[in-house]
């Protein structure tokens, strides 16, 4: 029996179908989505300067969405950035620009000890139809600011009489402490900042790097003062630990490297894990015995080089010191076995370490060391000035109070 209600429902269904067909055929539905639908590309974290040398540095930053990017560089000569077209530097992954959220642009051809202004640009990928069409959105410089020159960084300089730097270590994601310790990095005219390991307790996501310290570093100093970083034992852990080298690239492409600034030649070593690689906490993933063996072979070549031998001052960064407060663990024992014989014969002036979360000053000979070792706690920064006569070290707490003052004289 056909009721009025059934007729009504059938008519409603027919009208709905006609409307849907009409709408899908409408030219309006083929229009591109409004650009307002796409997030504007912006700097999510950074920029920061990595792997600085006398003639090069790498600009690293993170964007909120996948982008292509470039960096424009101008000398710090008082001219307007727009006086001429500035050279553009691109990231290349084997001959192709990457679409990525972490940007890593090497700037080459710079001069020693010179300041350079730079701007970072990002352009979001808004449509990817493979071979058919690939569309990038509007380019943004820095953070939506086209005219203000925000960033300026300097190359290293082997001819300057002193090299000035500050160290933090064992921050373990204590961002508020990190901010207090690093708030005066720029004011104190440091030539670089050194992250001496265990900045996080593990790297489960790169967002932990941002939240743990890099967002603060970006706000306080990293666009202006180069950073050098090494892994502590804790940076070996976590499912995003593999990303460490993209976030903190080095001149060697390895987690160990050297650099020269002022009279000092710096060697940055990777301590590896503290426990045996077979420990249950590493889930069978750790190969740091192998890493330390490889590194020792590389270290022999470093200390045999003219660049190393000719430097007036020689300083080593190593998160785990060759010394322990309460019984040596496997990592420390391997450092003593593999690195110390090479370093003890190389005329090293100073080793700077962390890991123990307490202050120690080890005189030459105190623990089989042929050079002094200073261990910075987890609650302080270490300010250093190296000149041809030696190194002055000040261990400073979060209130700016100098707790320890060490003068290491060249022998």
Which residues form the interface with Fe ion (CB under 5 A)?
A: 198, 232-233, 355
75-90 core/surface letters (b: 16 or more CB in 10 A; e: else)? eeeeeebeeeebeebe
Name which of 117 and 319 has its Cβ closer to Fe ion: 319
Peptide bond into 47 cis (omega under 30): yes
Name which of 197 and 226 has its Cβ closer to Fe ion: 197
Q: Minimum distance between the CB of residue 354 and Fe ion, rounded to whole angstroms? A: 6
* Most distant CA pair in the chain, distance: 110
- 386 close to 407: Cβ distance less than 8 angstroms: no
Burial class (CB in 10 A: 0-12, 13-18, 19+), 123: middle
- 54 close to 112: Cβ distance less than 8 angstroms: yes
Q: Minimum distance between the CB of residue 233 and Fe ion, rounded to whole angstroms? A: 5
Name which of 62 and 198 has its Cβ closer to Fe ion: 198
The arrangement of strands across the sheet holding 257-261 comes to 257-261, 264-269, 313-318, 350-353, 373-375, 360-362
Length of the chain: 411
Q: Minimum distance between the CB of residue 330 and Fe ion, rounded to whole angstroms? A: 13
Name which of 232 and 377 has its Cβ closer to Fe ion: 232
Q: Minimum distance between the CB of residue 319 and Fe ion, rounded to whole angstroms? A: 6
Name which of 292 and 355 has its Cβ closer to Fe ion: 355
Name which of 260 and 292 has its Cβ closer to Fe ion: 292
The CA distance from 28 to 33, in Å, is 10
Q: Minimum distance between the CB of residue 320 and Fe ion, rounded to whole angstroms? A: 6
Q: Minimum distance between the CB of residue 66 and Fe ion, rounded to whole angstroms? A: 34
């Amino acid at each position: 029996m056909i009721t009025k209600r059934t007729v009504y429902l059938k008519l409603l269904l027919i009208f709905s179908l006609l409307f849907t067909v009409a709408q899908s055929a409408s030219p309006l539905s083929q229009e591109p989505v409004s650009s307002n639908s796409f997030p504007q590309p912006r700097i999510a974290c950074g920029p920061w300067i990595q792997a600085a040398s006398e003639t090069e540095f790498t600009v690293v930053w993170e964007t909120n969405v996948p982008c292509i990017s470039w960096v424009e560089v101008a000398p710090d000569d008082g001219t307007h950035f727009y006086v001429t077209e500035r050279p553009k530097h691109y990231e290349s992954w084997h001959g192709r620009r990457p679409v990525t959220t972490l940007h890593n642009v090497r700037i080459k051809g710079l001069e020693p000890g010179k300041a350079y202004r730079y701007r970072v640009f990002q352009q979001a990928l808004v449509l990817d139809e493979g071979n058919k069409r690939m569309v990038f959105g509007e380019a943004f410089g820095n953070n939506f600011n086209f005219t203000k020159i925000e960033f300026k960084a300097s190359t290293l300089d082997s001819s300057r009489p002193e090299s000035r730097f500050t160290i933090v270590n064992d921050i373990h994601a204590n961002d508020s402490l990190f901010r207090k310790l690093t708030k005066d990095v720029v004011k104190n005219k440091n030539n670089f900042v050194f992250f001496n390991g265990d900045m996080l307790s593990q790297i489960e996501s790169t967002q932990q790097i941002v939240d743990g310290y890099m967002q603060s570093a970006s706000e306080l100093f990293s666009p202006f003062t180069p950073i050098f970083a090494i892994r502590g034992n804790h940076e070996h852990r976590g499912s995003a630990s593999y990303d460490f080298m993209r976030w903190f690239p080095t001149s060697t492409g390895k987690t160990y490297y050297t650099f020269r600034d002022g009279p000092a030649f710096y060697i940055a070593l990777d301590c590896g894990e503290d426990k045996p690689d077979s420990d249950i906490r590493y889930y069978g993933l750790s190969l740091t015995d192998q890493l330390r063996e490889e590194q020792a072979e590389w270290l022999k070549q470093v200390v045999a080089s003219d660049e190393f031998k000719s430097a007036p001052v020689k300083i080593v960064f190593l998160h785990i010191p060759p010394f322990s407060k309460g019984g040596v663990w496997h990592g420390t024992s391997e450092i003593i076995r593999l690195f110390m014989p090479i370093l003890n014969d190389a005329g090293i002036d100073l080793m700077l370490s962390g890991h123990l979360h307490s202050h120690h000053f080890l005189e030459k000979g105190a623990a089989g060391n042929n050079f002094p070792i200073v261990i910075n706690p987890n609650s302080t920064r270490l300010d250093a000035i190296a000149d041809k006569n030696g190194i002055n070290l000040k261990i400073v707490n979060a209130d700016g109070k100098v707790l320890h003052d060490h003068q290491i004289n060249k022998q």
